[in-house]
Structure 1
Amino acid sequence: MASVQTFALPHYEEYPVHVALFKDVTNAAFLRSQLLASNPDFDYAFLDASMILTPNHLLTSTFLALHTFLTKRAKTRTPHSELVFRLSPNNNIGESYKKFGIGDATTAIIAVKLPITADATVDASITAETVSKHLGNVVQGTSVRIGEQGEGLGLWCDVDKVRKMYKLGGEGGNKGKKTGAANGDARVKKEGDEKKEMESVILGIIALKGS
């Protein structure tokens, strides 16, 4: 069984979002092959965790994916593919998958499952328990617990990669610097502030794309 956290999105509480996080994954190539084969048992949004900055980054994109799908304005075939697309700042679907989806060598993965059918009705058979059981069986990696507010979802983020993807400019200046407890605390605070600033800009970019 994998650890799964369930989120309720504003206005769409009847469509709970089930999210799981894995580290040290060794079979990303297999998971990707099932996606490419359109295996319905693997109808998830499998995301490269290094491209998810914060919980809000993921959940805002998930909300937009669900909203556009339910209002028949989606650009892709399923809510899960729409989620991958909505994370991207551009309208190139292939590029969205290349940057935010998993690759054969991905080792930190976020899996998102929405309980929705092709005709946009709720699939009551999809629950946190069924998602946990299935992912626990098919993902070869270590399940990581996600907090109620999404704590943990940004721990594997490569901030420089995300900054480059959204063309935010600037450079990370703290790599390899360990200069004692006081300076360490200051560095952590600076990184937290940087993430908040980046998040604000990224959410604006995503919202403008979805408008």
Structure 2
Amino acid sequence: MFELTFGGGTVMKKIIVGITGASGTTYAISLLKALHDLPDIETHLVMSKWAVKNLELETDLTLTQVKNLADQIYNINDQGAAIASGSFLTTGMVILPASMKTIAGVAYGFADNLIGRAADVCLKERRKLIIVPRESPLSTLHLENMLKLSQMGVEIIPPIPAFYNHPQTIADLVNHNTMKLLDALGVRNEFSPRWQGDQNER
């Protein structure tokens, strides 16, 4: 895991966030907000064309507001971007929500846009890559593609809600997924209540 040390010895983690056109843009926004509030995190954001459309359909946020949550923003077609090269050191990448098209492209190295290329870089450089798949039901082909990625070390974290913490709002459900992503990235957080064990007498 690569980190950047700067003034005063603070350790900076560079994390790529790729947002694709699957439904569930709110999960990505939640993660971006959480990372934005951490001074030792530098976020590099790439959004597909359909991710931008889903932002409009699923949220009240503008594209500018979302971009303001990231430190660096890249065009989806910019194959010359810093994150397209393995020599640009990053901690890793999260693709969320991850469309089945993007997952298939990553699984077979079809880096036809910057999200696919940045993911391909993480694979070849053995850096952390997290996929948050958003589709239901899953076909055999979808499952085979995710299995292929898992066997290459990719972490698959579906946005499945938990109910042991008695969520009261949609935000509570989304925050639980954000907590799991931050955990996977090695970022300390208490973004959502954690399981403390069954306290009932048996």
Q: Same fold (TM over 0.5)?
A: no
| Structure with the largest fraction of strand | 2
Larger RCO: 1 or 2 (CA < 8 Å, sep 6+)? 1
